[in-house]
Amino acid sequence: MPSLESYRSDIDQIDDQILLLLGDRAKAVIAIGQIKMAKGENVNLHTADREARVFERLFEKNPGPYPNEAIRHVFREIMSASLCLECPIKVAYLGPKGTFTHLAGIRKLGSSAEYIPIPSIKGVFQEVCRGQVNFGIVPIENSTEGVVNHTLDMFFESTATIYGEISQEISHHLLSKATTLEEIKTIYSHPQAIAQCRNWIEEHIPGPPVIDVFSTGRAAELAADDPTAAAIASELAASLYGLNVMGKHIEDRLNNYTRFLVLSNHTPERTNKSKTSLMIYTQDRPGGLCDLLRPFATHGINLTKIESRPSRQKAWEYVFFIDIDGHVDDEPITKTLRELETQTLGMKLLGSYPTDEL
């Protein structure tokens, strides 16, 4: 039977081969970037269609024992580093660092991109529209707390396009410079995170006051500055701010997800599994909503979300935000939108983009 050292030697040789192959891959990526530049094409865009095909091929060829999700994480970082070889990628996100928005961005675009924390959702939209960054990441809805209205409202005035989506599992941890729960005198977090961990707090650390702050990242900053404070935040925040994990997965409900949007000034390529987002102004009359929905049913289109917001044009007049399965160039959707043009006061396509599977 081979010895432990023999197996370790085999691993070293395999690692050397991987390193050489990564170098070969990087050279090919640089060559592709040069060809794109010569053609006047964008070299600094994450290509959703190409990415989807890469993962599909890898999953089909995966012999195990690594599960496909592990393969996804490994190649996400390889592709992220490769993309930045072509041209540095700048990503604005709702900060500060260590928030779940930051974590979602890394999950989608990898850790090699340059992540720029922005203090407001409006600021993220503005950075994208001004061309200061390649992408922006903002939250749009949570599976238990509902829609983020501020993000929806930004589409009234913004020209940014939805380039993609990220469905990120939200798992909260109690973080602190302290080493025991008894040392903690104050707990900070975002109101939604506090609400999602209320039962755990009451059971395990009911004494300290729980104080609202504007983000879980800010909570981690405060905990890093005060050894008697704790934060409810992500595991990423623990590593970024040098905090101890005092309690893992302290959320009261499992299957807690937040959906994030990837914003851009560019339109993504079409993929096999797409989602389309629309903003539709309806007439203020009986049956207006019914008439709005009828064409979707007629053409067999599945609505995955519908939200209403005040139109800002007239009291008690509303605009509907709708997500549907499929791409805007699909024939049933094209027919539906053509019909809606004659039945509504106005319509805005927010984006057709790849669906992120949970």
276-290 pLDDT, tens digit per residue, is 999 998 877 777 788
Average pLDDT over residues 257-286: 89
Percent of the chain with pLDDT over 70: 96
Q: What is the CATH number of domain 90-170+258-264?
A: 3.40.190.10
Contacts of 45 (CB under 8 A, 6+ apart): 134, 264, 266
* Cα 15 from Cα 196, distance rounded (Å): 42
Q: What is the structure's pLDDT at 311?
A: 78
Confidence of residue 174 (pLDDT cuts 50, 70, 90): very high
Average pLDDT over residues 167-173: 91
Residue of higher predicted confidence among 91 and 56: 91
Q: What is the CATH number of domain 4-86?
A: 1.20.59.10
Q: What is the structure's pLDDT at 13?
A: 93
Q: Return the CATH superfamily for domain 173-247.
A: Periplasmic binding protein-like II (3.40.190.10)
* Cα 189 from Cα 276, distance rounded (Å): 33
Q: Which helix (H) or strand (E) holds 222?
A: helix 216-225
* Cα 222 from Cα 201, distance rounded (Å): 18
Q: CATH topology of 4-86 equal to that of 173-247? A: no
Residue spans per domain, the chain: 4-86, 90-170+258-264, 173-247, 274-354
Please check whether residue 234 is in contact with residue 98, taking contact to mean a CB–CB distance below 8 angstroms: yes
Instruction: For tokens 């699909």, name the residue.
Output: 330
Confidence of residue 274 (pLDDT cuts 50, 70, 90): very high
Average pLDDT over residues 266-274: 86
Question: Residue 176: is it exposed, middle or buried by C-beta count within 10 angstroms (0-12/13-18/19+)?
Answer: buried
Average pLDDT over residues 284-310: 88
Q: What is the structure's pLDDT at 76?
A: 83
* Cα 231 from Cα 222, distance rounded (Å): 8
* Cα 152 from Cα 267, distance rounded (Å): 19
Average pLDDT over residues 317-329: 92
Average pLDDT over residues 244-271: 90
Average pLDDT over residues 174-179: 95
* Cα 247 from Cα 249, distance rounded (Å): 7
pLDDT tens, 34-51?
887 787 766 556 676 777
Percent of the chain with pLDDT over 90: 56
Q: Which residues pair with 318 in a beta bridge?
A: 310
Asked if the model's pLDDT at residue 313 lies above 80, the reply is no
Q: What is the structure's pLDDT at 159?
A: 94
Asked if the model's pLDDT at residue 300 lies above 90, the reply is yes
Q: What is the structure's pLDDT at 357?
A: 66
Asked if the model's pLDDT at residue 198 lies above 80, the reply is yes
Full DSSP string of 249-298: S--SSSS-EEEEEEEESSPPPP-SSEEEEEEEE--SSTTHHHHHHHHHHH
Q: Mean of the per-residue pLDDT values for the chain?
A: 89
Q: Which CATH number fits domain 274-354: 3.30.1600.10, 3.10.180.10, 3.30.70.260, 3.50.90.10?
A: 3.30.70.260
Average pLDDT over residues 11-21: 92
DSSP assignment letter at 302: P
